[in-house]
Amino acid sequence: MKQIFAILFAAIFLTSIVYSQDMSELKKKVQMMNDEYAKQMVGGDMSALWDYYSDDIISMPSYEPMIKGLEACKMSAEKMEKSGSKITAFSTTTTDIMKSGNFVVDIGTYKITMTLPGMDMPWDDHGKYLNIWEMQDDGSMKLKVETWNTDVNPWEEMKKMGGHEGQMDMQHDKDVK
């Protein structure tokens, strides 16, 4: 009986080690893909960038409505490019990986720097993201769902800059006290 428990324990232990190694390798693969994606984004290589996306991608950007489909995402990116905005630095750090069937959930943090028309200084932002990758038959992965949002509270930033909205919030704070 003790031998059966010992064998069972050894099997579970070895399985957990193999699973841990597989997840570690998967996390490295996702981080490498994210690093390449970031290079292409900063370099403006949009054709290579779109290769990461599935045709039925769902994108959920901060402060914007949901975008469904690759063509709609391309139109949104084109609109941003025409606005004169330019991404000058971008990086992600994958912090967590989960796998279920053909899907890999990639959770992490990002840092981005952009130049915007009419602003003297570049705009820096940082936040968190969640991507869902779908494994393909050839071993590659395609983005199925992406979302991100900032860690920077825009209302606090307006207060720091002395903007009208910040003044309204400060007056509201005084009225509440």
Give the angle 138-141-142 at the CA atoms, nearest 5°.
120
pLDDT at 72: 97
Burial of 7 (0-12, 13-18, 19+ CB in 10 A): exposed
pLDDT at 163: 56
pLDDT digits (tens, 9 = 90+) for 45-93: 988 999 999 999 999 998 899 999 999 999 999 998 899 999 999 999 9
Q: Total domain count for the chain? A: 1
**CA neighbor of 33 nearest in space, from 143, 174, 148, 157:** 143
What is the distance of C-alpha 25 from the center of its chain? 19
Angle between helices 154-161 and 164-176 (to 10 degrees): 100
Q: Give all strands (DSSP E) within 2-154, no chain letters.
A: 53-60, 67-68, 86-100, 103-115, 123-135, 141-150
The CATH number linked to 107 is 3.10.450.50
Q: What is d(CA 73, CA 48) in angstroms, rounded to the nearest whole number?
A: 14
Looking up tokens 């069972």 gives 8
Q: How high is the pLDDT of residue 58?
A: 98
Residues of the domain holding 142: 2-176
Helix, strand, coil percentages, rounded to 5, for the chain: 45, 35, 20
Which single residue is written with the structure tokens 């005084």?
Answer: 174
Q: How confident is the model at residue 154 (pLDDT cuts 50, 70, 90)?
A: confident
Mean pLDDT score, 139-146: 96
